[in-house]
């Protein structure tokens, strides 16, 4: 059975002073935990936080990786570098990367493949814009991204993040979240087979907060969350983790 995952994406936030938040999480959620807990800090903090999280319930991930293992790519970071720094996961295809850096579905797929080759578990992000949602194309957009962004094989996580809900405080109706997650599970089953599809964690992301986490996690095909701003503070991320554990019967 797939394990549920609470993943925190710190984005371009975090200095050494913020490592106290990680220590608070470690203290609040000692190993082992019934669900997986992940923090994806900026690359500048990976090594330091990895040392802090050793033998804890907290796993670490990167926020992006290049498709190449090494080379003349100033300012980029490779999947082997993330692994070497202590990461077990990496986020690929986040809408902010797609928008700010023009990353395509094909590039996202190549990044996921590079992550798998390095021994990382990619979290592959997808989601529709507000205009696409209003036009009734949300499901079609997500399924097209699934078809073009996923590797042919390997262990990965999928995060559905409607772009219009990220950092805005807006959240889709529960029925809309359920529809997309159910469609993603069916898409995976058609491509990889029913058994393989059941092993893929499907996360929701987009203004997840302590006040709405429990109702989102109660949906059948929601296996956790990719949390942005609320993951920066242990007092906010902690209740989300607790809600996820409760939804798992812990």
Active site residues: 94, 161
Strands 89-92 and 58-62: parallel
Report yes or no: 74 and 43 within 8 Å, Cβ to Cβ.
no
Q: How far apart are CA 250 and CA 247, in angstroms?
A: 7
3-state secondary structure of 13: coil
- State the chain's maximal CA–CA distance in angstroms: 49
Burial of residue 202 (number of CB atoms within 10 Å: 0-12, 13-18, 19+): buried
Exposure string for 40-74, b = 16+ CB within 10 A, e = fewer: bbbbebbeebbebbeebbbbbbbbbbbbeeeeeee
d(CA 234, CA 244) in angstroms, rounded, equals 15
- Asked whether the beta carbons of 12 and 44 are under 8 A apart, the reply is no
Q: Rounded to the nearest 5°, which phi and psi values hold at 237?
A: -70, -35
Helices then strands, each counted (H, E), the chain: 11, 8
């Amino acid at each position: 059975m797939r394990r549920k995952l609470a993943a925190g994406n710190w984005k371009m936030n975090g200095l050494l002073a913020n490592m106290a938040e990680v220590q608070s999480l470690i203290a609040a959620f000692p190993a082992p935990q019934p669900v997986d807990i992940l923090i994806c800090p900026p690359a500048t903090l990976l090594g330091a936080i990895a040392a802090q999280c050793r033998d804890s319930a907290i796993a670490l991930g990167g926020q992006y990786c290049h498709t190449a293992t090494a080379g003349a790519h100033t300012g980029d970071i490779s999947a082997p570098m993330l692994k070497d720094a202590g990461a077990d996961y990496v986020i690929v295809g986040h809408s902010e990367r797609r928008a700010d850096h023009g990353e395509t579905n094909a590039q996202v797929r190549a990044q996921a493949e590079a992550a798998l080759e390095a021994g990382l578990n990619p979290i592959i992000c997808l989601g529709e814009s507000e205009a696409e949602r209003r036009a009734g194309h949300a499901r079609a957009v997500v399924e097209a991204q699934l078809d073009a962004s996923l590797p042919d094989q390997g262990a990965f996580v999928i995060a559905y993040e409607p772009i219009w809900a990220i950092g805005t405080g807006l959240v889709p109706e529960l029925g809309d979240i359920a529809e997309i997650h159910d469609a993603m599970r069916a898409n995976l089953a058609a491509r990889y087979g029913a058994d393989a599809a059941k092993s893929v964690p499907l996360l929701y992301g987009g203004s997840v907060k302590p006040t709405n986490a429990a109702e989102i996690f109660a949906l059948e095909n929601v296996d956790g969350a990719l949390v942005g701003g609320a993951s920066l503070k242990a007092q906010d991320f902690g209740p989300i983790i607790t809600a996820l554990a409760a939804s798992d019967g812990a």
